[in-house]
Amino acid sequence: MPAPGNFEVTAQRADGVVIVSPNGEIDLATVGTVREAVEREWQQGDDIVMDLRQVGFMDTSGLRYVLELNDRAGRESFELRVVRGPAPVQRVFEVSGLEPRLPFVDDPSQSLE
């Protein structure tokens, strides 16, 4: 399903890890595309890396989805790592007070070590 505007998301599986890389703005119009990419690639037992480095903006719908993934990881016993995005994206997590609650890493190579 094509995403609105210039938004795209790639998801690939490698060695039991699904790496999801949105590119553009995650908002109410595009968060469903991110969700679909995760559901399309993720299989029981896979871990997930959400790479936010190419996200220029994220509203509360994107924040809510990352929190949902984090809660799901706890329930379904898989690891989630979130690669920090640019300052405006990280600001959403900081302002909400949720940054300490989420498994952030600075670089995908740090993920799932």
Does a structural domain hold residue 90?
no
Does a structural domain hold residue 91?
no
Q: Which domain holds residue 34?
A: 1-83
pLDDT computed for residue 1 by the predictor: 42
Does a structural domain hold residue 106?
no
Is the pTM above the cut of 0.85? yes
Does a structural domain hold residue 109?
no
Query: What would the pLDDT profile of 69-112 be if each residue is shown by its tens digit?
Result: 999 999 999 999 999 999 999 999 999 999 999 999 998 776 55
Does a structural domain hold residue 98?
no
Does a structural domain hold residue 62?
yes
User: For residue 72, what is the domain's CATH number?
Assistant: 3.30.750.24
pLDDT computed for residue 14 by the predictor: 87
Beta bridge partners of 111: none
Question: How many domains does the chain contain in total?
Answer: 1
Query: What would the pLDDT profile of 13-55 be if each residue is shown by its tens digit?
Result: 988 999 999 999 999 999 999 999 999 999 999 999 999 999 9
> Which among 60, 63, 53, 65 is positioned nearest to 108, based on CA atoms?
53
Q: Which helix (H) or strand (E) holds 66?
A: helix 60-76
Token pair 């809510």 in the structure block, residue: 64
